Amino acid sequence: MKILIIVDDYLPDSIKIAAKMMHELALQFIKEGNEVSVLTPGKKVKELKPINHLSIHRFRSGKIKNTSKLRRVVNESLLSFRAYLYYFFRLRNKKQDLIIYYSPSIFFGPLVQAMKKHWGCPSYLILRDFFPQWAIDQNIIKEGSAITRYFRFFERLNYQAADFIALQSPNNLEWFYKNVNSNKTLGVLYNWTNEFKDKGPLKSKIDYRAKLKLTEKVVFFYGGNMGKSQDMMNLVRLAQNMQKYPSSHFVFVGLGDEVELVKKAIIDNELSNVNYLGAVVQNEYDKMLSDFDVGLFSLHKLHSSHNFPGKLLGYMANEMPILGSVNPGNDLQEIVQKSGAGFITLNGKDKELLNNAIELLNNETIRMKMGKNGMKLIKSKFSTKNATKKILEDIALHNYKTIWQENKVLKED
């Protein structure tokens, strides 16, 4: 089978979890005997020679990550147009059997519709972000405003282009049914990873514990996007409350809208127990996961939809216990705690979060047990092999329904 993957960020240029996940998905499909192409934006047009049945196509695009909101809106709005030009001149005659596209971004809908029509193949949307809903929830934009109507228009196009829409959890699936008027076939596709702690020696030779003088500390690590959705001040408050425990330390890595807020809070509150290291390349990030003790995450309490941060997979794959906060109703809390892989509280329950942090700080046995439970959870539910199997099963289900509907129409006629 020939499969085209469309994503707005990809390795090796990206440090984002989505880029890593989609790369792992591509490699797993290839391992299973498929031919995979990836279409993704870049600074300049570039087509890499196929390596082991993987072709990477980069179309020219302006910056859409870690830039001003206006520039991001403009450049993301042009994604389909710019990608279509590349497709028209370089890919149109390379027929694909399946299109898999990832959201965010919400702006690939028109491109996917054009490809489907020309190639006559199904499309599969991996939906990981309800935008613009989360921006409305956090009062960044107003429901009914001109900019919201603009985003809603492209959101609808994005959904309409899909034959199958895969949500990341059962509660997200329920939310979609209740809040989105769509006749598409829906299902759940959990996030995935195929990199585990026993994957062999890491390329980075940096000993981060020694470099940061943390050899005697229990290190609480956050790696990833630092935007409004993450409510980073929730983790800053935790670090502030943990100052009275000198054996604990916090390391934050990543970029996003709240970075300056975090840096200012560290200075204003004189948080000597926090290091902010900016962004790092993937090899360095992997080394940090293997060096540190507890994986942190946070989700904004005003979210009406639910998210399963991809960073958790990296934590669990490296046998790190999870500590974090979620919005009300998020089924991530039940999944992680039922498996014994970590402690998760509702965002805003600072005392409970603090008590959980103290428990992990003082009890190495619990840290090790939760870490091993996280590894078991990944292998049972969040492996890349499970993801490719589910995608192909979902597409087969869609094809069956399509044939059944066509036969029904013929019989009625």
Which one, of 319, 28, 21, lies nearest residue 193 by Cα? 21
Q: What is the pLDDT of residue 276?
A: 95
Contact (Cβ atoms closer than 8 angstroms) between residue 322 and residue 315: yes
Confidence (pLDDT) at 200: 46
* Contact yes or no for 122/398 (Cβ under 8 A): yes
Contact 99, 1 (CB under 8 A): no
Give the pLDDT score at 201: 45
User: Residue 356: what pLDDT?
Assistant: 96
Q: Are 180 and 165 in contact (CB under 8 A)?
A: no
Domains, the chain, in order of start with CATH, read 2-194+383-412 (3.40.50.2000), 208-381 (3.40.50.2000)
Q: How far apart are CA 360 and CA 413, in angstroms?
A: 67
Measure the CA–CA gap between 351 and 217, rounded to whole angstroms.
Answer: 22
Phi and psi angles of residue 159, each rounded to the nearest 5 degrees, phi first: -70, -40
Residue whose C-alpha is closest to residue 179's, from 227, 133, 138: 133
Q: What is the pLDDT of residue 203?
A: 53
Closest to 367 (Cα-Cα) out of 202, 253, 251, 221 = 221
pLDDT at 196: 56
Q: What is the largest CA-CA distance in the chain?
A: 77
pLDDT at 175: 86
Q: How far apart are CA 179 and CA 410, in angstroms?
A: 33
pLDDT at residue 49 in the model: 65
pLDDT along the chain (413 residues), means of 10: 94 81 93 94 76 86 82 91 94 95 94 96 93 84 92 94 92 87 88 66 70 92 88 94 96 90 94 91 84 93 75 90 90 88 93 96 96 90 91 84 53 51
At 44 the three-state DSSP class reads coil
